[in-house]
Structures are given as structure tokens and as C-alpha cells.
Amino acid sequence: MTDRICIAAIAGAFGVRGEVRLKAFTATPEDVAAYGAVTTEDAAQSFTITLSGQTTKGALIARLSGIATKEQAEALKGTRLYVDRTRLPNLPDDEYYHADLIGLEVYDTGGTLLGTVKSVLNHGASDILEVLVPGLPAPALLPFTLEAVPTVDLTTGRIIADPPDGVF
């Protein structure tokens, strides 16, 4: 498990007064401002977030401390914002932070290693685990549902999967 979790990314500048468009990775997008100061991935910069609205496409409009011009805001485009894990709420037993799933080994119900989680994708309906499978040119896409993934054990770093036919 990582010490810091990515909670948002800067999508670009908004307007001419230094505001930015934020893509939030929190369950409730507006929570990005509730966790206190955020840092860049390399921790070189720190900001406090003040929300000021939302775009028609769902991005949040925010002001970051120390950013006053459109040029400063635009220079941050693509920057990911992180908080210390200790500031995030504890999750129920059947919920996980995406960062905790990346790197876990995936086994089938018979104990055969299937691969390793590369990333967690979400295209609206539900999460999908992108699993790197040794010997396959493309990753397998495993639905992250209770039926397909009955067991996630963060302590041992493994997932037990009962994948639908054709996934692996």
C-alpha cells in the first residue's frame, strides 16, 4: 500500500484568473477540497483547493493557493494531486482504494496464477481490473464485481478471481 493517494488531476486552466479544471478521483467529487493541502506527485509543490463551481462536462472549477494567472494554471495541466493516506476515510470491508489493488497478484479459484493488476479502469458502469498476463500481448480485462472477484486479500497481496469465460 502506498503512503499517498492520488485524489485529482488538473485538466487545464479555466478562465483568466488562475482557476483550474479538476478531474476528481474521489467517490464524491467535491470531497477533494476537504482533505486539506494536496501535493504534486514529486511533492515539490503544495496547494490548498478552494472549489468555485463545476463545468457542464462535470469537471470541478477550483482555485489553487499560489496560482493567480491563466499561464500558471495552464502550466499545471496534467498534474496529479496527492494526499497522505492517513487523511482519507477508512473504507468498509468490501471497498478498496484503487492504489491498493495495483500490483496485486490474481489467482483463479484453483490457485493458478493468472497475472498482476496493472491498473483499475472505470468507464461509468463499474470498475474493471486490467491484468497483465504472462505470455499474452494484451492485458485481460476482469470485471471488478463480487461474482468475478470474490476475494481481495490486501494482507497477502492477492486476489482470487472466478473470471467469466473468455477473459483469460
Please give the chain's pLDDT, 168 residues, in tens. Answer: 568 889 999 999 998 999 999 999 888 888 899 999 999 999 999 999 999 988 777 789 999 999 999 999 999 999 999 999 888 888 888 888 888 899 999 999 999 999 999 999 887 778 899 999 998 899 999 999 999 999 999 889 999 999 988 888
CATH number, position 44: 2.40.30.60
Domain at 113, CATH number: 2.30.30.240
Angle at 27 between CA 24 and CA 33, to 5 degrees: 50
Identify the CA nearest to 148 among candidates 134, 135, 133, 165.
165
Same domain flag for 113 and 157: yes
* 168 falls within a domain: no
Q: Has residue 167 been placed in a domain?
A: no
Query: How many structural domains are present in the chain?
Result: 2
Q: Is the same domain home to 126 and 72?
A: no
* Full residue range of the structural domain in which residue 23 is found: 4-87
Instruction: Judge if 8 and 83 occupy the same domain.
Output: yes
Q: Say yes or no: 76 and 117 in one domain.
A: no
Return all residues near 34 (Cβ < 8 A) that are at least 6 apart: none
Q: Return the half-sphere exposure (C-beta side, CA atoms, 13 A cut-off) of residue 121.
A: 11
